[in-house]
Amino acid sequence: METKIFQIEELDDAAELLKRGELVAFPTETVYGLGADALLPESVKQVFQVKGRPSDNPLIVHVADFKMTEHFVDKYHPLTEKIVQHFWPGPLTLIFPIKKNSLSPVVTGGLSTAAFRMPDNKKTLELIKKTGAPLVGPSANTSGKPSPTTAEHVYHDLKGKIAGILDDGATQIGVESTVLDLSGSIPIILRPGAVTKKQLEEVLQTEVLLDKHLVKESETPKSPGMKYKHYSPDTPVVMVRDNDWESAIQWAEQNQKAVGLLVGPMIGNKFQSADRYIFQDDTVEAATRGLYSGLRALDEADHSDVILTQIFEENELGAAYMNRLKKAAGQKYFEKNS
């Protein structure tokens, strides 16, 4: 299969492919999604096959406007209108109970709830409108590997497996959306992202819980991205605490391990002999934007036995960065006595 790269003037062609049941990857402000018409179960099954994704892992349904959710949602949380007005379009996914048989179990993972998002990308919103149906959109990559933040990343992973990719350059945020469960009485964050607990609580004027439960392989997750290990390159990833960098580099040298560094300029400039992917600056925003690209670049260079990565405090956007990094590293930190 030829995988075509679509530009904005070719949106009609991309939409026609989706209507015919083909798969087309699309850009969002977070990562690139692997699009299929959410109302065509056979197309959705192809998404799982192409990604190698477990079939119990529910998919996020991408809509062009809030009204599109009304066909599926059985009951809205009382805070829904306030949340949608403030955060949509944007990097916030909402989970609602759905009407029976409104979506295929292939989309929902067999659950009585479904996840919905209105992405903040004009090209993709127009693509959904032209398709005339919501699109499922898990990250457009091989399941379990670092998510794609450019069309080139998608092409690298899925060339010849999907019909097309709608190109809109690099994504702005770099990690997947916050997932907020609104199927119960109290809003619960199932996956942290760029919309933070603090931001939600300030808008809603009520407590928002944060579910830190890591789903085992035998469990069905309520949201994507809840597994213990995920977003992982083939090269082992190890997190390094701020005061342990000298020890970590010495450990690597003593054990004759070639090191890849995924760090900001402050740390990267201290260890120039290593293979390095340097974030644009030393902020958590730059680290989050560059996390997946850096993991991919160092892994594909194939120069490193281990990738040592910088950590950040687990608050605000740092919670989203560390959530992804911990899973990429299989929760493993460098320990001085290891």
Residues in CB range of 255: below 8 A, 6 or more apart: none
Rounded distance, CA 55 to CA 309, Å?
Answer: 31
Q: Is 18 helix (H, G, I), strand (E, B) or coil?
A: helix
Q: Give tens-digit pLDDT for 208-256.
A: 999 876 555 556 667 665 555 678 899 999 999 999 999 999 999 999 9
| CA distance linking residue 189 with residue 193, whole number of Å | 9
pLDDT for the residue numbered 117: 98
- Sheet strand arrangement including 306-310: 237-240, 306-310, 259-263, 275-278
How far, in Å, are 20, 126, 153 from residue 141 at the CA level?
Answer: 22, 23, 8
Q: Token match 């949509």: residue?
A: 88
Taking alpha carbons only, the member of 115, 59, 118 closest to residue 84 is: 118
pTM: 0.93
Do strands 237-240 and 178-181 pair parallel, antiparallel, or not at all (unpaired)?
unpaired
Domains of the chain: 4-210 (3.90.870.10), 237-328 (3.40.50.11030)
Residue closest to 320 by CA, chosen among 68, 106, 92: 92
Which residues 6+ apart lie within 8 Å of 286 measured at CB? Answer: 264, 279, 280
What digits encode the pLDDT tens for the residues 81-119? 999 999 999 999 999 999 999 999 999 999 999 999 999
For residue 85, give every residue at least 6 positions away whose Cβ sits within 8 Å of its Cβ, in sequence order, or none: none
For 56-90, the pLDDT digits (tens) are 789 999 999 999 999 999 999 999 999 999 999 99
Residue 221, pLDDT score: 66
How is residue 183 written in tokens?
């199927």
pLDDT in tens, 109-167: 999 999 999 999 999 999 999 999 999 999 999 888 999 999 999 999 999 999 999 99
